[in-house]
Amino acid sequence: MHPVLPWLGGIAVLSFLPLITRTAYDQYLLNVIAINVVLAVGLNIVKGFAGQVTVGHVAVMAIGAYASAVFSVHLGLPFWLALPAAMAVCAGVGLLVGIPALRLEGAYLALATLGLAESVRIVISGTEWLGAAMGFEGIPPPHIGGFVMETHFRYYFVVMPIAVMGIYISFAILRSDMGRAFKAIREDQLAAAASGVHVAKFKLIAFVLSALYAGCAGSLKAHMAPGYLNPNDYSLQEMVTLLLMVIFGGIGHIWGAVIGAIAVTIINDLTQDYYTYRMAIFGGVIVLTVMYMPRGIGGMIEDFWVRKRFAALRAATKARQAAP
């Protein structure tokens, strides 16, 4: 069986999801989840696979969103061209962000990317042709001929396949030589270099790949109804929420990032009514995760499988020993 077939099957199954939702709000939420999945899976590449600490991912997403908006509104490009163009812009940004990563590590790299995060928001806030603090309006939804994907239901069939494709590509990266090089860098840079891994090159590639995902997520968000962007939506608060998705899901686990994006988006939504305690609930989830699931949901699932395999191995060994 071709490895892509199960993924196509997944897309086919997920296509029925909006049909069983009760309201258009659920469909809206599915779209937000799909965008967050793309974002979290992308962050997982640089943070989870390659072990680079970045807090500028939301800023790259903002660049992707605004680039796509500019390509659509000012240059008249359709969504289908604006999306790859915005991703290309973000790839360039990822390359630039990756350069400091060649010299910086840990908290220092986090500080450098934090600078990027804040400066992007500030620059947008003061740039008139990007709508400044008032926001960028009138970003058109995608369309194929006369078929406009402006409703949440229709837009789902744009974001969901892209999200599934994003997960598939992420697995393909992880299982490739590149993915192994990323993991080698994450575990020990010196050892990786000694083993012949070109550390600088692969670090940059990780940032570029991650930025491509962020750009894609940004573009998808920009073209979702009502087609409005505002720099206030790309602050540190959003970055913390995104980090929570990856940590909750389990750093380094692709399915963990997916589950984290789904869970955090749903928790975020469910706590809207409890606005007084919302941030406390959110904070509580972080504390509980770190206390009881330090490796996140992905780590938990991995533990489960390892235990199961170990138990099966032990049972097989016992059976062998018991045999005459």
Partner 1 sequence: MAIRKWALLAAPLLALAATPAKAQDGVIRIGVTLRMVVENGLKYGQMVKDEFEAVNAAGGINGHKIEIQLLDDECKPDKGVSNVNRFIHQTQVDLIIGSTCSSVSMPMVDIVTKEEIPLVIPQSTNQDLTKKGSPWVYRVPVSERFYAAVHAKWLAENVGKKVAYLVTTDTAGIGFAKQYQVYMKKTYSVDPVIEVQAQETDLDFRAALLKIKSMNPDVLAIGGQADAIARVSQQSYEVGIPSRVRRVAASAASNAPVPELGGDSVKGLIYAAAFNCNDERPEAKAFVKLTQTKYGVRCPDHDFSQAYDTVKIVTQALKTANLKLTAGSHAADRMAIRDAMANVKDFHGLASGPISFCAAPTPQCRDGNRTGILVEYTKGGKDYDTKLLARVTFDADFGL
- Of 47-55, 82-90, 92-100, 122-130: span binding partner 1 (CB under 8 A): 122-130
Q: Is 310 in the site for partner 1 (CB under 8 A)?
A: no
Q: Is 241 in the site for partner 1 (CB under 8 A)?
A: no
Sole binder of partner 1 in the list 13, 16, 20, 273 (CB under 8 A): 273
State the minimum distance, in angstroms, from the CB of residue 290 to partner 1: 12
Tokens 């812009």 -> residue: 89
State the minimum distance, in angstroms, from the CB of residue 259 to partner 1: 8
Q: Is 16 in the site for partner 1 (CB under 8 A)?
A: no
Sole binder of partner 1 in the list 232, 240, 306, 309 (CB under 8 A): 232
Nearer to partner 1, 129 or 273 (CB): 273
Nearer to partner 1, 173 or 239 (CB): 239
Nearer to partner 1, 32 or 204 (CB): 32
Binding-site ranges for partner 1 (CB under 8 A) = 22-26, 28, 32, 122, 125-126, 132-135, 137, 152, 225-228, 230, 232-233, 259, 263, 266-267, 269-270, 272-273, 275-276, 278-279, 288-289, 292-293, 297, 300
